[in-house]
Every structure is written in C-alpha cells, then in structure tokens.
A = this chain, B = another copy of it.
Amino acid sequence: MILVNGTPGAAITAMDRGVAYGDGVFRTFRARGGCALQWRRHYSKLAHDCTALAITAPPADMLENEISSACAGEAECVVKIIVTRGASERGYAYSSGAETTRIVVAAAEAAAHPADHASVGVRVRLCSLRLSHQPALAGLKHLNRLENVIARAEWSDASISEGILLDREDHVIGGTMSNVFAVMSGALITPALDRCGVAGVTRDRVIDAASALGTACSVTTLSWTDLLASDEVFVVNSLVGVWPVRELNGAERGLGPVTRNIQRALQLEDDAKVA
C-alpha cells in the first residue's frame, strides 16, 4: 500500500521538487507486523539527512503510524519512505516554510533475492562508473541517484548480485545498493564516506557489532587493491542483511569466520526484536 502525506493513494503532483530536482531523501527497510526493524536508527538517519538538506523531517510517531497502516496487517514488508521538499514553482530557490511531501510505500514482497545468498555468498563485480566527490551530499541517502542507476545498468547477468563502486582515486566507496566491509588480519575495514557514498543503517550496526565482539573496525580509505587482497569481503544493507562475497570481479574467494560472526550478531539482534 502507498500513503502520500498519510492518505492512501499513489498520486503526487508533477510539480513536486522530488521529481524536478531529486530534492529529498529516502530510507528502505523491513517491517514485521507493521513495525520497522531498526526503526530508531532509520528515523535518526532520515532526520539527519533531512536536516542536512534543510528539509523539515516528519515526526517519528507520524511515520510509525503510516508504516503500520501501509503494511496493512502483512507479517513481513519491505518499506520505503521518501521525504521531499514538496511542491514549488519553477526555480531552484525554495522558501523555508514549504510543506514537505511524505511517501510511505509498503510491499509484502517475497524476497527479491535468494535466501541462500547470506549462507553461500554472492558474486560481485567491479563497476566502471566512478563516483564523484561531493562532501555536501556525501553519506546522505538523497534522491539524486543517477550514479547508482547508471552503475547498476552496467550488468544484466542475474547471477551477479552487486557491483562495487570506486571513486576517481580508486578508493572503494560501496556497492550500488550496499555498504562494503573488508577483513584484513582479523580486523574490519569499511570506507570513510565523507566525500561520496551512502552511510546505511546496517553499516552502523556492523560497526557496533564489531565493537561488541571485540573485533577492531576502522573507517578509513580502502583501495581496490586492498579489497582484492583482503581475507574476507561482505556487503550489507537493511534488506539483505550481510552477504558474504564469494566471487569478486571474477576471482573466487573463501567465506570466513569474521563475516560469520558479524552475521550471527546481527541475526541475534533481529531475533531478539521478534521474540
């Protein structure tokens, strides 16, 4: 079900700045029984990203109610929230009092990806598109996503689950729809996202889980060469969880114990929420 500003229906105005300029932010996550998993983290990031763009974030309880309505009694849903700066006349300028547009979409979809990806791992390729550096937007899950669209269109082989994106300096930034972690000498490394990339909720969860497990985790630059040389690689997002990478740009890789420990830690958290 789709709610726009709390009302069932999919229609928004063509004058919305979301479509005119990609002027807004979004989040995608799972909901169980009408409740968003990791909601506090998702809302916190949504509010942060809104603030970064000087968009007024909708109140958390309003969104919680709308997520529940949109899930319409379904046990398991994928939910996407979009918040745009709202409609305006032509022109990039906006008035601070503009009314935002809130879109909540819930789909009781069967998993879009095979369930065994988490256990047997996935094939991942390197994208040729290089991400641009824009510190003013780095880390935000904003609606200017043409780079992701272009990168995802580079392959059609359904057996390849993700593409790795580098910046122009051959630093790994993330996947087209995920964040990336490497394991080197037992420690985790994930790219710093201060110049490009999207800082996802599951990335934060992995960083926190590593801390709880006593596993070192550094957020720093990670070159493509380092990624290839690392002991383990995995990609994460809020829909798929943790996917071990069993093939990286054509080279087979073993799955490893650090990835398994992180998977287990996140699974335990998820199970605790359900129980």
Q: Is the CB of B11 within 8 A of A145?
A: no
Known: A10-B15, A15-B105, A26-B20. A137 touches B143 (CB 8 A): no
- Residue interface mask A133-154, B partner, CB < 8 A = 1: 1101100001111111111110
How far is A196 from B15 in the complex, measured between Cα atoms in Å? 25
Min C-beta distance of A100 to chain B, whole Å:
13
Q: Mark A67-90, 1 if CB is under 8 A from B, else 0.
A: 000000000001010101100001
Is A13 at the interface (CB under 8 A from chain B)? Answer: yes
Q: Is A19 in contact with chain B by the CB < 8 A criterion?
A: yes
C-alpha gap A11/B137 in the complex (Å): 29
A14 pairs with B14, CB closer than 8 A: no
From B19, B53, B129, B196, contact of A136 by CB (8 A): B129
Chain A, interface residues (CB within 8 Å), range: 35 or more
Docked CA distance A260–B59 (Å): 53
A22 close to B84 (CB less than 8 A):
no
Report whether B22 and A143 are in contact in the complex, using a CB–CB cutoff of 8 Å. yes
Knowing A80-B90, A133-B168, A153-B54 touch, does A10 contact B20 (C-beta < 8 A)? no
Say which one of A36-44, A91-99, A213-221 lies at the interface with B.
Answer: A91-99
Question: Assuming the A-B contacts A19-B84, A168-B133, are A13 and B14 also in contact, with contact meaning beta carbons closer than 8 angstroms in the complex?
Answer: no
A: which residues have CB within 8 A of B? 2, 4, 10-24, 26, 28, 53-54, 78, 80, 82, 84-85, 90-94, 103, 105, 107, 112, 129, 132-134, 136-137, 142-153, 168, 176-177, 196
List 10 interface pairs A-B (beta carbons < 8 Å), by A numbering. A2-B14, A11-B12, A12-B12, A19-B103, A21-B143, A80-B90, A92-B176, A93-B152, A132-B132, A144-B145
Top 3 nearest A-B pairs (CB, nearest first) are A22-B22, A144-B144, A132-B132
